[in-house]
Structures are given as structure tokens and as C-alpha cells.
Amino acid sequence: MKIIEKAELSQFTTLRIGGVVDRICFPASINELGDLIDKLISQNEPWSILGGGSNVLISSNDIPGTVICTTGLNWIEQPGPDQLIAGAGVRLPRLSAYAAKLNLSGMEFYEGIPGTVGGAIVMNAGAHGSSTNQILEIVTVLNLKTLKFETLTPKDIHFGYRFSSVNPQEYIVLGAKFRMVSDTDASIRSRMKENNLIRCKTQPIKDPSAGCTFRNPIEINMPAGKILDSIGAKNWTVGSAKVSPVHANFIVNLGNATSHEVCKLITKLQEVTYEKYNVLLKPEIKPLGHFNQNEAVIWTNANQTATSSFIITNNE
């Protein structure tokens, strides 16, 4: 198994933020991952799970313990004419391109989402009116309570908007089986191209970011990006963390941003939105690592703490 000691986690996130962790491990098989978890649990060592690192804010402070990155679980198989099996670490654009080559439709919306299969199931990733639960047939997981491998069907899982009851406090996603439909190569590729065009026009895809900062609120019928635009948030900057001028729900890293700067910016966005709309925006980005109390309220006030390693420290 590939292991990097004293790894800079910023290298493993799309936002390019994250401190030094004792080690990051890349299991290449389910058995390797199972053995690693057994060892970490028996040694009582802190650990957390990372997929593509495209929806996390990792603290800039050093992080004790182990990060398990799933990107070595990267197999794709076709068990039946309209089905694909993928390991938890398979990148979504690769999976969508693979399906397109087989004339299988259903994953066109994955084009341009820089996450992995595991992250997509945990977040119920979606775009352009489609979401992961609509194409999912089976998820294989390691149940962290029983330490047994299990197979879940969508009936066993509660899915919502950017939410799934498969969360890293209870399960590690190992892989999934997807059901799709046959279509022509031309129509699949034209949908993928269209999705990409929309993304290029509306999102800061070239800048380091962690995707949408906040979930769309249910209290008012307005997406988070529009709300933030309406309070004039575009271009607000704290240090090297900036609200994108392209899409106000994206925070981009201008180069050397820290998690502390991102937290200050998120807090400001939450406060000003609350003053104007009486709505607390809930973060879509998951925290990983150590955050002080002032930072942690971003997630605790909004009941958004389901992450494998979120540690609240005293204010410094």
C-alpha cells in the first residue's frame, strides 16, 4: 500500500488547503482498507476518509493521525449490459467517460464534478436535474459499528438534496453498482458537452475551490448563490480566500489561503445573509481536521458535522 508520511493535505484537495497529517494511506484493495481500519481502531489512532477532496475544508493546522485516501480503489467493471461497478475511488468524470464509450447513458451529469464514487454517494452528488441516487443500484460499505462488509440498496439509504444517510461516521463506501440505459454515442456525448458548456459559463472551474460553499436553503425559494449575489458578496476577500466573481457560492483560493481565512469569510457570509434574510446558510463543504470554537460554529450551528474527523479545539 502506498503511504506518505508527513503529507501536505493541501495537495489532495481541490481547494489546495490543508495542513500536514502524520500519514496518508492509499489502500489499493478492499482487503487492504479493511486491514488498515482494523489496525487503526485497535491502536486507537485517529483517522479520516478522503475521496477526491473536492468537497472538504481541511484545517491548515497539523493533523494528528491517518488520512485514508480512497483513490487507489479505482476499478471499473461491466457486470451486465446496462450496469457498471466502480470502486469508491473512481473519479466521476472518468466513470462518465467510460459509460459513454459503452453507449450507456445516465452518468452525463458527472462530467465536470471532480469527486469520486464514494464522495458522490455520501453527498448524493448531482447536477443538471440528476443525482447519484437515481442511477444507484447497490453500494458496498464497511459498517464501522460492526466492522463487517455490507451491501446496501437505495431502499436502505435515505437520500436527500446533497445528503445521504451513508456518512463517514458510520460507513466507508467501498464501491457501487450503477444501472443505466443504452443510448447512442452521439446523444450521450452531446449531453456531456452541453453540461460542460453550462459549467464553464457559470462556475470558476479554473480556480481552486471546493465547489458550492453552502447548500441551497429550504426556508426561501432562492439558491444560495443568488442570495449571496444579492448581498453583494462577489469579490469579498479575507486574506487569500475570495468569493468568486463568477459564482457567489464558490470560495476560491487566490494562492496561499488558509482554512482560518476561509472560515472567516464563511462566517461573514452567514452573518450578513442572516441579517438580511433571517436564514442561516448551511455549509455544503465538510470540515476535516482541527477547527477552533469560533470556526466550528459554522458547522455546529447548522447541524452539519457528519464527517469522519472534525475536532473542535479551544480558541487560540
Ligand X SMILES: Cc1cc2nc3c(=O)[nH]c(=O)nc-3n(C[C@H](O)[C@H](O)[C@H](O)COP(=O)(O)OP(=O)(O)OC[C@H]3O[C@@H](n4cnc5c(N)ncnc54)[C@H](O)[C@@H]3O)c2cc1C
Residues that bind ligand X (CB under 6 A): 14, 48-56, 70, 88, 113-116, 118-120, 122-123, 125-127, 168, 172-173, 203, 205, 209-211, 286, 307-308
Strand duo 47-50 + 148-152: pairing:
unpaired
Cα 225 to Cα 138: distance, rounded to the nearest angstrom: 33
Residue with Cβ nearer ligand X (177 or 286)? 286
Residue with Cβ nearer ligand X (144 or 272)? 144
CB 88 → ligand X: shortest distance, Å? 4
Copy the grid coordinates of residue 239. 486574506
Copy the grid coordinates of residue 120. 458522490
Angle between helices 293-300 and 259-277 (to 10 degrees): 50
Residue with Cβ nearer ligand X (100 or 123)? 123
CB 275 → ligand X: shortest distance, Å? 28
Residue with Cβ nearer ligand X (229 or 272)? 229
Residue with Cβ nearer ligand X (92 or 104)? 92
Cα 130 to Cα 223: distance, rounded to the nearest angstrom: 17
CB 219 → ligand X: shortest distance, Å? 21
Burial call 51-82: b when 16+ CB within 10 Å, e when fewer: bbbbbbbbbbbebeebbbbbbbbbebeeeeeb
CB 278 → ligand X: shortest distance, Å? 27
CB 49 → ligand X: shortest distance, Å? 4
